[in-house]
Structure 1
């Protein structure tokens, strides 16, 4: 009995040591409070003991990668979450980590993976995210055990991710640039609603007029080969057009089902000839959905891909322009959104040559209004309509695939 009491006391001391009596704890609680005063309604700080209990002594591993190990967790209230054990950077102090957590706690959008809270001890750090039942888009496209992801879901995922990037670029103050848009940072909930993760890597605009009280601490884009904006490779300057380029590559993966680099050749370069030739456009499509795609929708998506992956960043669209086209041509139900931004003129890149009449701008770019855009882009089939993912328009779920879920255990930030 004496030995048992001794062991219990020693274990309690170890837990207290893990929690630590950091003099910055008061500051970090203040940081969390500030986050709660913002748009985040579910955000808090957890203890190391709670993290340990939620993960059954860290035995419920979902996956891992350069950003840390991810566990499936169940909190005291019964809610299921994804818990990431963060690989601590020697350059990131406790203070900086709390700043980043406050910053992420303020990002609140239907198509961003939600941060529920964090845990910071003297030796370990954890992030607690909402659980995404159907895992990552990367798994659905490239896993050996992948299940069919129907065409209509691929189109909806494209719209969902565009929504997330539009929010970061246009509705955060200052604007944020993600810097690592790729399928492994896109996750699907139980209804196959797509949400963008990896916003801890986001960078704020250097031209913004407002400096947030807590800014992201990462100073270099964590870009992945194949998704990197060619201009970023030269300038090392992250811009909104860097995200636009990566988004175009992600769209290409959604359509083709191919990896971003194959046989030492980029997917973008491989696709250029097919996208530039109308009668070969169908060759882009993933064979698994080759009998069930909408040709008109494919034409629209192919044009957006070509526009987004233009070598000249200035010739690429904004995410607002991309979303406008996707809504107008792929989601007629949300025409109200398209009309709301009708006054905004944009640069639309025409790869077909001679198909559009408009004012010729520099670098081979055609500039024209929304009416001209509609005359250029082919009409979408009336039988191929996706659900609106923008919650301010329609509060509805994404269409659920007809196949069974690919990953019953879910995943997050592998």
Structure 2
């Protein structure tokens, strides 16, 4: 009997030990699984998506991923009521996006009403059509609609909202809201009534930018890029600077737009296909596949020459630039004929000199955007100083003339008094 009791006790003890061991294994297994899931989620949230590319043309970008000569055209659909939800945009992403960006989210009905059922079109890009909208608050905005068949635009959409949700500067176009509803993705921007710099330089509008406006635009653009490169934390590389992405408000103040290709300057160890717009791309980027801040500087150099010449980069602008670089007054020969004699030629040469430095073959010898801003500002300051000097000289002359006149009145009074006394 005693022997049987001992066996029962041993069996129960072994059973308890095995149960405890199994419970511990299950506990640590669940804990390990949760930890791996959290790490995977954090990794996904930190990852930077491969950024989209645009199609070839004056206002678009080129896909260099497969070839530098063959671009892939993206067809734009007119159907605004397609109900297939983008695969990447699940409920979790929408909630996280709204909380991170802090940007207002609108419903499809709100945008449909504001755009008068998508009839007031402003333009067309590779991302999709852009419409003018009058919101219920009375605010006039521009609505950029992602084309329903544009797979690359989905990533561009995410990049733009996540960046502009935290980047705010007077020379960056302000994103005021977005819409993800009924299978449609839309970006809502402040309305820029004077359109793009490209349209003003190359469009059919009769309005001609005068030299003062062009110099002011160059300075505005430099301030916008300066904020991206030196003010944002972490710094942001735009990667698609071009005249079509420079928009002007009703006061003709320039703002940098279209951040779909932008990337925070964090090296992730991966090289992707070349992205950008033909004519604005840094040759060093093409040869090395490494895009840096100095690549943005190169693109800005091209834009400055556009302001000087009104020649599009896809119309052999670089040939004219190389020709002008052969002499001190070379910029005079390629100056936009529409300006005529209504500009200060020294200021033109000064801006051309800055632009030439931005296009240096060696990126390390190109100036920083802060140095470019200061150089353009000095051109304006020299003019203001000259105007102040001339104005000051004019005031001195007028004061001297009025003093002489006062003295003449006093002398005539004294003479008349003396004549009266002697009489």
Q: TM-score, with normalisation over the residues of structure 2?
A: 0.66
The CA distance in 2 between the partners of 1:111 and 1:240, in whole Å, is 18
In the alignment, what sits opposite 2:100?
34
The CA distance in 2 between the partners of 1:384 and 1:311, in whole Å, is 39
Per-residue CA deviation, residues 108-162 of structure 1 (Å, 9 max, x unaligned), is 1100110001001252100000000111111110012341100000000000000
Structure 2 residues not aligned, in runs of 5+: 1-80, 390-423
The CA distance in 2 between the partners of 1:142 and 1:112, in whole Å, is 22
Per-residue CA deviation, residues 292-345 of structure 1 (Å, 9 max, x unaligned), is 11122112101111100111112111111101111123235xxxxxxxxxxxxx
Please report how far the alpha carbon of residue 26 of structure 1 lies from its aligned counterpart in structure 2 after TM superposition: 5.6
Please report how far the alpha carbon of residue 50 of structure 1 lies from its aligned counterpart in structure 2 after TM superposition: 0.8
Please show how residues 225-304 of structure 1 align to structure 2 within 5 Å. Answer: 225-262=278-315, 266-304=316-354
In the alignment, what sits opposite 1:313?
363
The CA distance in 1 between the partners of 2:328 and 2:363, in whole Å, is 25
CA-based RMSD: 3.0
Please tell me whether Structure 1 or Structure 2 has the larger radius of gyration of its CA atoms.
Answer: 2
Q: 1:131 aligns with which of 184, 191, 199?
A: 191
The CA distance in 2 between the partners of 1:171 and 1:196, in whole Å, is 15
Would the aligned equivalents of 1:201 and 1:221 in 2 still touch at CA under 8 Å? Answer: no
Would the aligned equivalents of 2:208 and 2:338 in 1 still touch at CA under 8 Å? Answer: yes
In the alignment, what sits opposite 2:216?
156
Decide whether aligned partners of structure 1 residues 186 and 99 sit closer, same or farther in structure 2, where only a CA change above 3 A counts. closer
Please report how far the alpha carbon of residue 31 of structure 1 lies from its aligned counterpart in structure 2 after TM superposition: 2.9
The CA distance in 1 between the partners of 2:265 and 2:285, in whole Å, is 15
Decide whether aligned partners of structure 1 residues 68 and 92 sit closer, same or farther in structure 2, where only a CA change above 3 A counts. closer
Decide whether aligned partners of structure 1 residues 308 and 295 sit closer, same or farther in structure 2, where only a CA change above 3 A counts. same
The CA distance in 2 between the partners of 1:271 and 1:134, in whole Å, is 28
Decide whether aligned partners of structure 1 residues 329 and 98 sit closer, same or farther in structure 2, where only a CA change above 3 A counts. closer
Please report how far the alpha carbon of residue 28 of structure 1 lies from its aligned counterpart in structure 2 after TM superposition: 2.5
In the alignment, what sits opposite 2:237?
177
In the alignment, what sits opposite 1:357?
none
Q: 2:265 aligns with which of 205, 227, 232?
A: 205
Structure 1 residues not aligned, in runs of 5+: 1-14, 37-42, 209-217, 333-378, 386-414
Decide whether aligned partners of structure 1 residues 277 and 231 sit closer, same or farther in structure 2, where only a CA change above 3 A counts. same
The CA distance in 2 between the partners of 1:298 and 1:137, in whole Å, is 18
Please report how far the alpha carbon of residue 384 of structure 1 lies from its aligned counterpart in structure 2 after TM superposition: 10
The CA distance in 1 between the partners of 2:312 and 2:199, in whole Å, is 12
Q: Which has the higher helix share?
A: 2
In the alignment, what sits opposite 2:256?
196
The CA distance in 2 between the partners of 1:384 and 1:150, in whole Å, is 22
The CA distance in 2 between the partners of 1:384 and 1:35, in whole Å, is 46
2:200 paired with 1:140: yes
Would the aligned equivalents of 1:86 and 1:124 in 2 still touch at CA under 8 Å? Answer: yes
Please report how far the alpha carbon of residue 100 of structure 1 lies from its aligned counterpart in structure 2 after TM superposition: 4.7
Aligned length: 306
In the alignment, what sits opposite 1:382?
386
Larger relative contact order (CA 8 Å, sep ≥ 6): 1
Decide whether aligned partners of structure 1 residues 70 and 35 sit closer, same or farther in structure 2, where only a CA change above 3 A counts. same
The CA distance in 1 between the partners of 2:223 and 2:242, in whole Å, is 15
Decide whether aligned partners of structure 1 residues 381 and 221 sit closer, same or farther in structure 2, where only a CA change above 3 A counts. farther
Decide whether aligned partners of structure 1 residues 91 and 123 sit closer, same or farther in structure 2, where only a CA change above 3 A counts. same
Please report how far the alpha carbon of residue 272 of structure 1 lies from its aligned counterpart in structure 2 after TM superposition: 2.1
